């Protein structure tokens, strides 16, 4: 895969990520008090993140982008797993588990934003193909209740 093709596909995945509303309360409409509805919304967020991860898994990056490819795949896959854990915590109704899972999502995103930003920086000039898309990402705000 050429640098141009890979960077385009990579930026498309970032765009898909941005388009996911990662706040489950926004998905629920008038049923915002139901833990079951919130768990279903979180499960759908997890599913969408998994789709992005699966699309990233099949990309064939240029050799010097392999680390970026791996880190980005792990980000989407791991975030999907974190949202799945949040959904499971919601199912228990245990506020400590729910809060811990929500904090885990935000901590995971923060850690990976740093890791991937560092990986992009190591690409030197080629990193410009990825940097602006990645730097604009914001932390998903999972509800803690």
Please state the length of the chain: 145
Give yes or no for a contact between 82 and 112, defined as CB atoms under 8 angstroms apart: no
Whole-structure pTM value: 0.84
CA distance 37 to 41: 6
CB 36 within 8 A of CB 56: no
Taking the chain (145 residues) in runs of 10, the rounded mean pLDDT of each run is 89 89 69 74 93 92 93 95 94 92 92 90 84 66 45
Of 60, 51, 54, 24, nearest to 141 by C-alpha is: 24
CA 3 to chain centre: 23
């Amino acid at each position: 895969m050429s640098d141009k093709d890979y960077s385009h596909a990579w930026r498309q995945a970032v765009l898909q990520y941005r388009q996911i509303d990662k706040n489950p309360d926004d998905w629920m409409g008038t049923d915002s008090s139901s833990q079951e509805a919130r768990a279903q919304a979180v499960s759908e967020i997890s599913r969408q993140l998994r789709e992005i991860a699966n699309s990233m898994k099949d990309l064939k990056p240029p050799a010097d982008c392999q680390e970026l490819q791996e880190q980005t795949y792990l980000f989407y896959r791991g975030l999907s797993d974190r949202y799945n854990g949040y959904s499971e915590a919601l199912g228990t109704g245990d506020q400590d588990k729910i809060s811990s899972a929500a904090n885990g999502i935000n901590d995971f995103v923060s850690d990976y934003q740093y890791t991937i930003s560092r990986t992009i920086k190591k690409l030197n000039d080629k990193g410009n193909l990825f940097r602006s898309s990645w730097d604009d990402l914001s932390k998903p705000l999972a509800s803690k209740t």
